[in-house]
Structure 1
Amino acid sequence: MRKTAAKLLAAVAIATSVATVATGTAVADPASLPAAQDIVGVGSDTTQAVLNQFSTDYNAFLGASSTLPRLYSWDATGTSPIVTKTGATSIARPNGSSAGIKALENNTDATVTFARSSRAPQATDQATDLFVAFAKDAVSVATTTTGSNAPTNLSKADLVNIYNCTYTNWNQIPGYTGAGGTIKPFLPQVGSGTRSFFLSVLGLANGGACVLVNPTVQENQGTDPVLNDPNAIVPYSAAHYIGQVYNGHGSGSDAAGALTIRSIDGISPIDTTNTLAKAFTDTTFGRVVYNVVREANWNATNAQGTALRAIFGTNGWVCKNATAAADIKSYGFRVLPVGACGSTIHS
């Protein structure tokens, strides 16, 4: 195992320039059915775009002649059911972190090898789930760009009162000087890691009775017309927003649309260089994003275990390769410090 992994990692320095030249534009869903041995993931909407880019760039890094397992990722939304790779069981397309983790738990590695997750482990996850860190994100709130009745800055206490329905009109917020209006607080779809993280930061098990859980509201998709409302507010991944708006990664429904992201407690999620602000990620709204694997697969000495560590491990491609670091930044995330990327935790 160590010799095989070492060979892969030693090749990084030699092949980095080749991989950089060979990289292409990421695409949604695998263009062709992955092979049975390939590393295939499902789950989080927040990290699907950067994982698509990882797939393109890591496979280019391996080269066309390589017989090693390749990396693929299926989007959170699209036609359903899906067959993830050769020989896999047909499954409903998992939409969101929790749905991806459940798909990992309810299937074998012949169908799902890893789950994308924008949330940390929860008590309901299986003890055999291993969360492998790869980048830093943060969650803020978004409102319509023009004509919003929401203030440009909200405090954490304001958001608690909005989402527990203590505040139902903007004019109830201390210091508010706008026109007012009945607040329409939205949450993304059930199973969304952004939803569960945001509620956990606010100390809420769920939203109050005033919260609108519209099944059409997909996390990080500001194109939904129900959100283009002067009184609407919705949690939004700051990294995903930056990737969409500033780095050219927004297209189709996966775009910010009419939404703009807001400051919380006077701290903007976006710094003066249009990147994710460290000051914001250092607040309670900052989060680590993960790829979740089965612990037994991670520790295995077979080709798949070696490939998982060579891709996601502390010394793997995602954590050590310059192209991977560029991808993380391009899609709005912050690169984790050495040793933190590839670190693992249990539920």
Structure 2
Amino acid sequence: MRTAGKLFAALAIAASLTTVAAGSALADPPSGVTPASTDIVGVGSDTTQAVLDQFSTDYNTFLGTSTAPHLYSWDATGSSPITTKSGATSIARPNGSSAGITALNNYTNATVNFARSSRGPQASTPTVPGDPSSDDFVAFAKDGVSWSALSGGNAPANLTTADLLAIYTCSKTNWNQITDIPGYTGPNATIDAYLPQLSSGTRSFFLKAINGGSTAATPGTCVESYLPEENEGTDSVFASDANAVFPYSAAHYIGQVYGGHHTSSSDYPGSLTLRNINGVNPISTTNTLNPSFTRTAYGRLVYNVVRDSEWTANGGSNALQNIFGTSGWICTNTTAAADITSYGFQTLPAGACGGVSHT
């Protein structure tokens, strides 16, 4: 039975790590702190939770004694339910981009102000600008999604898009069927293909990327029914599975391994290592996110999603714009830029950071 289960110099990395270390991020709001009803509070994506935790620490330090709304972010996993801020409705902790966006749409700003998302808008997302029910996807960094496998296992160092699609749609189920990788002769061993949990933005993006980018591939029946938490190679199903294949955020992996950032003991690759796609390594020679990889179909923007009516309130002069907008703290502050790099992501140029997507 099968197991259930752009290029930066090294100096810049060191500078980033030093900056971040000055105010270490904490998972969830700090112990003993209940965000005020007027604070900006978010939920959702596992992939961006660690950098948002760091943003929260550094932005609130930046505000100092100011009475302006502070920033807080609840992680994807942990105890549940949660009371996100003073006076809020208690809710089940949203785990993943889609779950965060659902919470944003199901509750008011008395409970949730933004959703972390590692995917862009989908057909099911309200995306009509000016519609009070519309969601605005506000970009803040770039990531790439690759795949991972057990160090020393049966998987090759590289797979093509065609291979990945075949694996996840079950037209290739054995490593000896992978015949297009130079120098690789796969053993007679069944491939164990895993996907993250259903609300995962990484899952959604990966299935689209391997299928040409427009519609998601439908996983075949050979794909494992067990759905590990994304970006957690420490799950016991991976401990000794020489045949495991699992999508993984390259930025999150770099932040975990080379930046030393993880929100819990389980938020780590464990024995999984990141692999190439179409011969392109997601990690550069300086252990940062490889621009050559993020320029492929596997590069993606990551977002904070807000309600359009609140994003445009007061002519765009509001707390959300002050944090997430093109002239806001995340897009203009050097500490925020250092946080983005330190956590493995690529910064976006002026104008792109804070840019809004509706379709």
Same fold (TM over 0.5): yes
| Kept in 2: contact 1:38–1:72 (CA 8 A) | yes
Partner of 1:79 in structure 2? Answer: 79
Q: Does 1:220 align with 2:231?
A: yes
Matched residue SS, 1:328: helix
Report if the CA contact (8 A) 1:189-1:213 is conserved: no
2:161 pairs with 137, 156, 159, which one?
A: 156
Aligned to 1:123: 123
Higher helix residue share: 1
Aligned to 1:37: 38
Post-superposition shift, 1:99? Answer: 0.2
Q: Percent identity?
A: 64
**TM alignment of 1:65-144, pairs within 5 A:** 65-127=65-127, 128-144=134-150
1:281 maps onto 2:287 in alignment: no
Amino acid at match of 1:214: Y
Question: Which of 173, 176, 184 lines up with 2:192 in the alignment?
Answer: 184
Are residues 1:193 and 2:204 paired?
A: no
Q: What CA distance in whole angstroms lies between the structure 2 residues aligned with 1:214 and 1:252?
A: 21
- For the 8 Å contact 1:22–1:61, the answer to whether it is kept is no
**Which of 261, 274, 280 lines up with 1:267 in the alignment?**
280
The 5-angstrom pairing of residues 55-74 of structure 1 reads 55-63=56-64, 65-74=65-74
- The 4+ residue runs of structure 1 with deviation greater than 6 A are none
Instruction: Give unmatched runs, 5+ long, in structure 1.
Output: 1-19
Give yes or no for the alignment of 1:235 onto 2:241: no
Q: Deviation string for 1:82-104 (max 9, x for gaps)?
A: 10000100111000000000000
Distance 1:214 1:90 in 2: 28
Q: Give the drift of 1:77.
A: 0.3
**What is the root-mean-square deviation of aligned Cα atoms in Å?**
1.5
Shift, 1:314, TM fit:
0.4
Deviation at 1:266, TM superposition (A): 0.4
Equivalent residue for 1:5? none
Aligned pair 1:343/2:355, yes or no? yes
- Secondary structure of residue in 2 paired with 1:234: strand
Q: How many Å separate the matches in 1 of 2:147 and 2:21?
A: 37
Shift of 1:337: 1.2
1:109-141 Cα deviation digits (max 9, x unpaired): 000000000001000011200000000000000
Taking structure 2 as the reference length, the TM-score comes to: 0.88
Counterpart residue number, 1:290: 303
CA distance in 2, matches of 1:308, 1:39: 7
In the TM superposition, what is the alpha-carbon distance from 1:225 to its structure 2 partner?
Answer: 1.5
C-alpha separation in 1, matches of 2:350 and 2:77 = 33
Query: CA shift at 1:61, angstroms?
Result: 0.3
Q: TM-score, normalised by structure 1?
A: 0.91
Q: 1:268-289 CA distances to partner (integer Å, 9 max, x unpaired)? A: 0000000000000000000000
CA drift of 1:305 comes to: 5.8
Number of matched residues?
324
User: Once the 2 structures are TM-superposed, how far is the Cα of residue 301 of structure 1 from its aligned partner?
Assistant: 1.6
Verify the 8 A CA contact 2:41 2:84 in the aligned structure 1: yes
The match for 2:8 is: none
Shift of 1:227: 1.8
Give, in whole Å, the separation in 2 of the partners of 1:336 and 1:305: 22
CA apart distance, 1:21: 9.5
> Alpha-carbon deviations, 1:220-276, whole Å to 9, x = none?
001001123100000000000000001111340001111100000000000000000
